[in-house]
Amino acid sequence: MSRASRKSSSSKPASSYSAANDAFILSICTSNVSFRFVKNEFFKKFVRILDPNYKLISPDAIRRKLIENVGDYKRKIKVELRDMIKCFVSLDGWDGKNENSSIYAVYLYFLDSNFERKKILLGLRQLEKKGTANNIGDLTLEMLKEYDVDISKVIGGLTDAGSNIKSFLEKNDLFHVHCLAHSLALILKNASEMPSIARVLTKVNRLASHLSRSKSDRTTFRERSIALKLEGRIPLPFCVTRWGGCCLLAKSYLAHYQSISSLSNFQCYLLDASEKKTLENFVEYTNPYIESIAQAETDSSFASSLLVQYASLHHFISAQDQRNHLVHCLSIETLERYTKYLENDVCLFATYADPRYAYMTNVLNTLKWEAVEEMVELYCESFRAPSCQPATTPPPPKKMKLAESNFLRFVEAQTESVNSGSTKKEIVEYESLIQSARPPIQSCPLNFWLTHSTRFPKLSILASHFLSIPLSSAQVERLFSRCGELMSSSRRNRLKSITVNDMLLNAALGQMSLQEKKEDEDSSVSESGDDSEEESDSSADDSNGQTAPPSDSNGQAGSTVTIIDATN
């Protein structure tokens, strides 16, 4: 190497090497590469060729950096959580290849004093024991404790229908909300298993599997669809965990049916007239459910629209011909789950606290808004003071005589009666305001409460408790999609549990930061069907991949996400 080139290399700032180390550590966390890969002689030679002045980080230094990143993240989050009053958790688990090993992820949702929604990742944690309610509870409480969050601040959890997680919430007297996307996916799954539907979907899956396996046929198929100006994703398999994947595949099959019929070697994947009609009906009747799932997966969704989503689906499917077996199945399933949600206090509180939907007709089915008002009044009367700020603890009262104690109890009872009247007054004024000037459906409900919190002090506390909750646990599913490979690798079996946990959190933070930067750069770019990478469809969408629900890049005002970049 010449003297000039050596001088150029040696003059490189130390910060660039630090950034390189951070990026290299994240590549280790998000792959199956061992820490000891840095000892590989050919890799060391490769690095020396690129920059002879760069010194590879050692395996021990990698571990120390992981611990340092986790410590920095926790300290920053603790500061942000210091003034949190109440929160909701989103909790879900992912089973790895090992029978008694799984990953659990916990997100925290709350509203700050300015009615901005905060979403904070507490971490991904390996559970080496069986996923019982007690073990999940111990793991969750341990994670909350690490961030100085007392369980008394947790109102409830947003999860799937897992009995173990529900049992943990019930044991701790916490509310449970079933993820809307998962709930609707179960309806679609049951509908897809009807014999007449299942037979047709078997043929559709046969085509998708063939396209996934054969690169040449996939290229031919894609080129024909482009020539025919057919838009949308070609029929490739979805991950089995993708919500409503069977309906999405059926939709893409029909969208590219002309390509199937025009290619001689695809004739065996065609449907007869009766089968095609069955599939068209399936797509037609399930499309509103797919639309609701897509809305639930967005980061800007609110659980306050859950009942409204089900009300709209119930209205849609009830208007169809009930003699159709598919319609009848969807009607029964929809009404059953809709009714369960109407019995969920969180759903009722959240809907009432959202000025876009409160007092809206046909949302509560047979339930009356007067009944919800009674529940709201009882909940609001549990507040000690009409303020979200924690009151200072007064000195202990002096010991009183019995007569004085009876007198004070009488006065206190009358004061509580006045307070009850004030809550009723807020409810009456709230209804009057909503009925006369309801905010637009596209608006953010948090803006309403930021403006009217002083006018409705107790109802604003209700809103601060229940308007932080999203519609689904899609964010957790995305993390499993990006970090699941770490737990699937047999190379990680010898790592200590604490090291695995540090790697999982670093991987999650790195991937989330990378995703945010990518969304900022490509926010105006939609899927264009670029064919430069022939493997792109199969690697991203086949059944072996960990396809995640799509992220939302168009968050509403009043909703923010806290992500600490572990690379900085």
Instruction: Give the angle 161-464-348 at the CA atoms, nearest 5°.
Output: 50
pLDDT mean over 296-301:
89
Q: Is the pLDDT of residue 554 over 80?
A: no
Q: What is the pLDDT of residue 399?
A: 41
Q: What is the pLDDT of residue 485?
A: 58
Q: Is the pLDDT of residue 394 over 90?
A: no
Q: Is the pLDDT of residue 406 over 90?
A: no
Predicted structure pTM score: 0.79
Band of residue 330 on the pLDDT scale cut at 50, 70, 90: very high
Q: What is the pLDDT of residue 97?
A: 53
Q: Is the pLDDT of residue 293 over 50?
A: yes
Could you tell me how many helices (H) and strands (E) the chain has, helices first?
22, 5
Q: What is the pLDDT of residue 350?
A: 97
Distance CA(222)–CA(541), nearest Å, equals: 15
Ranges of each domain in the chain:
67-179+472-517, 180-297, 300-383+425-471
- Whole-number average pLDDT of the chain: 81
Q: What is the pLDDT of residues 150-188, one digit of tens each?
A: 999 999 999 887 778 888 888 889 999 999 999 999 999
Band of residue 35 on the pLDDT scale cut at 50, 70, 90: confident
Question: Which residues, 6+ apart, have CB-to-CB distance to 477 below 8 Å?
Answer: 92, 241, 548, 549
Q: What is the pLDDT of residue 508?
A: 76
Q: Which range in 113-122, 334-343, 543-552 is most confidently predicted, on average pLDDT?
A: 334-343
Q: What is the pLDDT of residue 528?
A: 45
Q: Is the pLDDT of residue 73 over 80?
A: yes
Q: Is the pLDDT of residue 480 over 80?
A: no
On whether the 67-179+472-517 domain is CATH 3.30.420.40, my answer is yes
Band of residue 220 on the pLDDT scale cut at 50, 70, 90: very high
Q: With b meaning 16 or more CB within 10 Å and e meaning fewer, what string describes 398-429? A: eeeeeeeeeeeeeeeeeeeeebeeebeebbee
